[in-house]
Amino acid sequence: MNQDTFDRREHWQTVYRTRAADAVSWFRPHLDVSLELLTRAGMHADSRVIDVGGGAATLVDDLLARGLRHVSVLDVSEQALAIARDRLGPRSQQVTWYAGDLLRVHLPAAGFDLWHDRAVLHFLTDPADAARYTAIAADAVTDGGHAVIAGFAPDGPEWCSGLPVVRRSPEEIAALMAPAFELVESRNERHVTPAGDTQSFAYALLRRR
């Protein structure tokens, strides 16, 4: 794939225009592992949380249900964000929405206590993009804050939604995010897709130094 001509936004706009949000391979009714790791990171009602690549995922619903007051969601697809806003109804006004490519959207420096990413990083196959991701996260997460980053594990799929991915262990995620972040805890998950297939995910809970 020619990364110079690939339109990331249009790809994901098409995905969410043509497929039901609960039919995509990565859908889970609740992101249980993410919620557990965010809780272990000390998440509370006043935590400033951003879900990067959150799209139409239900994490935002569960965070609001837990009483969080400072929740942000970022996604390259306005279509995906519209699905989430429509599902939340009036509660969507409690959320800060960022529509745009993570590598280009401006985020406030030290603006977040908790950074969550379930499968954005693993799509960044260009090492320069992955390095840019690390720099953006380091700038956006306050000192002592945490990041929960997940993607396909080394024994997971090599492709997702027609795109190549980089498979990493939690330790490899941590190595990429160092030295700004250090590994606190690792997890593995066997995710069952809506179609009944099994995918291996790796999670890293990282602390901002």
Which tens digits make up the pLDDT trace of 35-80?
999 999 999 999 999 999 999 999 999 999 999 999 999 999 999 9
CB within 8 Å of 21: residues ≥ 6 apart: 27, 55, 56, 80, 83
- What's the confidence (pLDDT) of residue 37? 98
Model pTM score? 0.94
Asked if the structure places residue 153 within a domain, the reply is: yes
Rounded to an integer, what is the distance from CA 80 to the centroid of its chain? 13
Angle between helices 8-18 and 78-88 (to 10 degrees): 40
Sign for the CA dihedral angle at 120, 126, 129, 131 comes to positive
Decide if 74 contacts 81 (C-beta within 8 A): no
Distance, CA of 181 to CA of 134 (rounded, Å): 9
Asked if the structure places residue 90 within a domain, the reply is: yes
Asked if the structure places residue 3 within a domain, the reply is: no
pLDDT band (50, 70, 90) for residue 205: very high
For the chain, give the mean pLDDT.
Answer: 96
- What's the confidence (pLDDT) of residue 1? 42
Distance, CA of 178 to CA of 135 (rounded, Å): 10
Is pLDDT of 3 > 60?
A: no
Please give the biggest Cα pair distance in the chain. 43
Decide if 117 contacts 149 (C-beta within 8 A): yes
- What's the confidence (pLDDT) of residue 2? 40
**Listed residue (113, 123, 122, 137) closest to 9, CA to CA:** 123
pLDDT band (50, 70, 90) for residue 148: very high
Asked if the structure places residue 1 within a domain, the reply is: no
CATH number at residue 54: 3.40.50.150
pLDDT band (50, 70, 90) for residue 137: very high
Asked if the structure places residue 144 within a domain, the reply is: yes
Is pLDDT of 90 > 70?
A: yes
User: Which structure tokens are listed for 8?
Assistant: 């990331």
Asked if the structure places residue 174 within a domain, the reply is: yes
Is pLDDT of 4 > 70?
A: no
State the first-to-last Cα distance of the chain, in angstroms, to the nearest integer: 36
Distance, CA of 48 to CA of 43 (rounded, Å): 9
Asked if the structure places residue 54 within a domain, the reply is: yes
**CA triplet 86, 21, 8: central angle to 5 degrees?**
100
Asked if the structure places residue 105 within a domain, the reply is: yes
Residue 160 structural domain: 8-208
**Listed residue (59, 91, 95, 53) closest to 74, CA to CA:** 53
Q: What is the mean pLDDT of residues 132-160?
A: 98
- What's the confidence (pLDDT) of residue 184? 98
Domain count, the chain: 1
User: Which segments of 76-140 are extended strands (E)?
Assistant: 95-99, 112-118
Q: What percent of the chain shows pLDDT beyond 90? A: 96
Q: Is 64 helix (H, G, I), strand (E, B) or coil?
A: helix
